[in-house]
Structure 1
Amino acid sequence: MEETNVSLRLLIDTKSQKVLFAEADKNFIDFLFNILALPLGTFIALLTKQGMVGSLGNIYESIENLSTTYLLPNVNKETLLKPKVQISGGSTVAGVPLLLPKVESSSTSSRNLYRCSNSYNHRYVADDSSAKCPSCNCSMSGTLIFVDPPRATNTTFSGEGGCVKGVVTYMVMDDLAVKPMSTISSITVLNRFNVKDVSALEEKVVHLGIDEGVKLLEASIWSKSALTDVFLPMLKQEVQCESQ
């Protein structure tokens, strides 16, 4: 498991065996929010197809099994199956913790564009060198190199990358809802879950690596109790190992 500086302080109700909420800093919230930036193909590739809920896994497998004979000449199967990752492993978003494995298609590491081989004045661009220029019908084989624009981050203003400010502690609910942490919000949560016996509450600090990142990604799809489902089994296993 890869070491990271991402951790959570869980508040657990030992009677109901449920995580009520977690205290988190900027690192975890940046990871959580940037899950939304994951392309679907990468999302599915990070999870086992057998573990997918619904039919998306079947679409992924259909592309895998489909002969390239049926694809258009400018369509690359690897680009569909492994689109360029926008966060975490191979991140293109500055400051986001590396909590997911790197899944990146080699075909997307650089992008070639082509112009008319006959004339600079024909202002057409293609992404396939076998294309023909609409003006003179010559091949579009003059190589151009695609250049990415400067990445927009907030580093100029605050020195921080990612999504949220680092001076705030955040409350993450069991269903991954996020809000700024406050004493009032903590009391509100305890009242909502009708917690009467404060002695039954237990604090646990958990450290996250790639294994936990993938499990949270999977739990975010199907579970309304993601923190409980991911971390309580892990904590129980640690207790069993210590007792042996």
Structure 2
Amino acid sequence: VDTKLSMKLLIDTKTGKVLFVEAEKNCADFLLHILSLPVSIVIRLLNKEGMIGSLPNQYNSKKYDKLKKMNYIVSEGVKGVVAAKSGFVKETVTYMVMDDLVVKPMSTISSITLLNKFKVKDVGLLQEKVVYFGMKEALKMLKAFFELKTVLTNVFISDAKRRRKEQSETEYKT
């Protein structure tokens, strides 16, 4: 069963971009965890998704053949242990995740500052959207992280537009 996490996107409907996301601890921890994975693990995960670029070529090249294969090791003392207070971020804070996956503590002032930075003149054009994501979307985010600066827009807005377009084309043909 694919466990789903949720986060709240703030979308500028004029530009069609995610300005930032409001995320709780579990979501912020998960994003920071996947971004801290060793490159070899990332490449193995993304190879199934058809990752574009030279990273897999570098990883698979002959000049790395002589290097020992490194394994990701977890100490026997911590295997299977999940502590409620563990993770990358604090529990009582809400986090702001930028479109490029930068994670920061959220505050009213930082939100207003960002709206000014993005030159938002009409807050009526902003849309709030809750999205749920699991491993499939996490892999898409990881892949987009290596290719784009607009990770969240690409995964949650562009994909949704593409699906709607494909659905309307299918309906048109039938």
TM range (shorter): 0.7 to 0.9
Q: Distance in 1 between matches of 2:126 and 2:95?
A: 19
Displacement after TM superposition at 1:61 (Å): 3.3
Q: For 1:71-86, what aligned pairs fall within 5 Å after superposition?
A: 79=69, 83-84=71-72
Separation (CA, whole Å) in 2 of partners of 1:235 and 1:203: 15
Tell me the residue number matched to 1:209. 134
| C-alpha RMSD of matched pairs (Å) | 2.9
| Structure 1 match to 2:100 | 175
One-letter code of the match for 1:167? Answer: T
Relative contact order, higher structure (CA 8 A, sep 6+): 2
Residue of structure 2 equivalent to 1:235: 160
Q: Is the 8 A contact 1:44 1:52 kept in 2?
A: no
Tell whether 2:137 aligns with 1:224: no
Q: Aligned in 2, Cα 1:201/1:36: closer, same or farther, shift over 3 Å?
A: closer
**Are 1:61 and 2:60 matched, yes or no?**
yes
CA, structure 1 residues 183+238, in 2 after alignment: closer, same or farther (shift >3 Å)?
A: farther
> Compared with structure 1, are the counterparts of its residues 36 and 5 closer, same or farther at alpha carbon in structure 2 (3 Å cutoff)?
closer
How far apart, CA to CA, are the structure 1 residues paired with 2:96 and 2:11? Answer: 14
What does residue 77 of structure 2 align with? 150
**Secondary structure of the corresponding residue to residue 47 of structure 1:** helix
Q: Residues 222 and 234 from structure 1, CA distance in 2 versus in 1: closer, same or farther, beyond 3 angstroms?
A: closer
Instruction: Flag the structure with higher helix content.
Output: 2
Post-superposition offset of 1:201:
0.8
Equivalence for 1:25: 24
Residue 124 (structure 2) aligned to one of 199, 218, 239: 199
Q: Alpha-carbon deviations, 1:92-146, whole Å to 9, x = none?
A: 5xxxxxxxxxxxxxxxxxxxxxxxxxxxxxxxxxxxxxxxxxxxxxxxxxxxxxx
Structure 2: 5+ residue runs without aligned partners?
none
* Separation in 2, partners of 1:37, 1:198: 35
Deviation at 1:41, TM superposition (A): 1.4
Counting matched residue pairs gives 165
Rg comparison, structure with higher value:
1
**1:32 is matched by which residue type in structure 2?**
L
> Quick one: which of 165, 171, 189 aligns to 2:90?
165
Once the 2 structures are TM-superposed, how far is the Cα of residue 154 of structure 1 from its aligned partner?
A: 8.9
How far 1:3 moved relative to its partner?
3.1
- The CA deviation string for residues 33-54 of structure 1, in whole angstroms up to 9 with x for no partner, is 2234312211111113853433
- The answer as to whether partners of 1:12 and 1:201 remain within 8 angstroms in 2 is yes
Q: Distance in 2 between matches of 1:176 and 1:35?
A: 11
Greater shift after overlay, 214-223 or 230-239? 230-239
Tell me the residue number matched to 2:34. Answer: 35
- 2:111 paired residue number: 186
CA contact (8 A) 1:172 1:179 kept: yes
How far off is 1:62 after superposition?
3.6
Identity across the alignment (%): 48
Residue aligned with 1:11, SS? strand
- Matched residue of 1:211: which SS? helix
- What's the counterpart of residue 6 of structure 2? 7
Aligned to 2:10, the other structure's residue is in SS state strand
